[in-house]
A and B are shown apart, each in its own frame.
Chain A
Amino acid sequence: MADLSASRASAVASHVAAAPKVAVADLGALPPRTRFVFRGREAAITAAGPAFGVALPREACRFAEAGDRRVLWLGPDEWLLTAPEGAGAAIVADLAAALAGLPHSLVDVSHRSLGIAVSGAMAARVINNGCPLDLGLEAFPVGMATRTVFGKAEIVLVRTAEMRFEIDVWRSFADYVWRFLEEARREFA
């Protein structure tokens, strides 16, 4: 099989270099991550946590973190596992050992999407230009993660701090989403 990691380049690199500095609504590209979509039933869900190093959150629309690994709840039987780039082979081996005999699915989607961080006092306002969710702290607290829409694109939106959001967007939509965010934060420049 071809080594895909050799040709991996950020889809928004040129935008990042040209992005103006806006303190209240800062945009940045996140470093590449290893991503897996995990699906399974009760026994597999329980066993997957210790093997990955982070227990899979059972509460809807939440994420859990331990060290540099993160698990995001996407659906009642679906999670997104992320880890620093290069950890993929170890994760596959660990989970395969822990889940031997338990029906589950673990799909490497590292190349499917990339991360964009929006931070600053106006971050929620900027995202609300394209996302209809209530991003108030009560409705969307720190620690929440959910799949949603941003304009025409489907994204995974994560709130890591009161004034910091991370967007996980499919690679082919990254250019569109970045330009949309750039347009949205112009009023604060």
Chain B
Amino acid sequence: MLIITCPHCGPRPELEFRYGGEAHIARPADPSTLTDEEWGAFLYQRANPRGLHAERWRHVAGCGRFFNALRDTQSDFFAATYPAGTPRPDTDASGVKESGR
């Protein structure tokens, strides 16, 4: 079973987690000044990369907290997990294999 490291609880089985979409999407400070296109982009347009992807996960059957994870969308490898509200860690694809979980 895939093991995901929760920043609060440590390594735990994937069954306890739920996916929460792409991370680091900031809600516009003043939505009323946005055009429909800009608002639509905020709501629906996502990066969908092939490779490392910063995404939100929730340890729903554990501490219940949201956190962020860097996951390789090709290999499903979790390069890093970090608490919500912290910036995306500096990880290039070459350093991922060595960093472990």
Contacts and interface: CB of A to CB of B under 8 A. Distances in A.
Given A132-B1, A132-B13, A133-B13, A147 B8 contact: no
Contact of A149 (B8, B10, B61, B64): B61
Interface stretch (A20-28, A72-80, A108-116): A72-80
B63 interface: yes
B12 interface: yes
Interface in A36-80: 60-61, 74-76, 78
Nearest to B65: A75
Binding site of A, secondary structure by majority: helix, strand, loop or mixed?
strand
Interface in B62-81: 62-65
Interface in B1-58: 1, 8-10, 12-13, 15-16
Nearest to B13: A132
Interface in A76-93: 76, 78
A76 B61 contact: no
Contacts of B64: 74-75, 78, 147
Given A132-B13, A132-B15, A133-B13, A148 B61 contact: yes
21 contacts: A60-B8, A60-B10, A61-B9, A61-B10, A75-B8, A75-B64, A75-B65, A76-B63, A76-B65, A78-B64, A132-B1, A132-B15, A133-B12, A146-B62, A147-B61, A148-B12, A148-B16, A148-B61, A148-B62, A149-B16, A154-B61
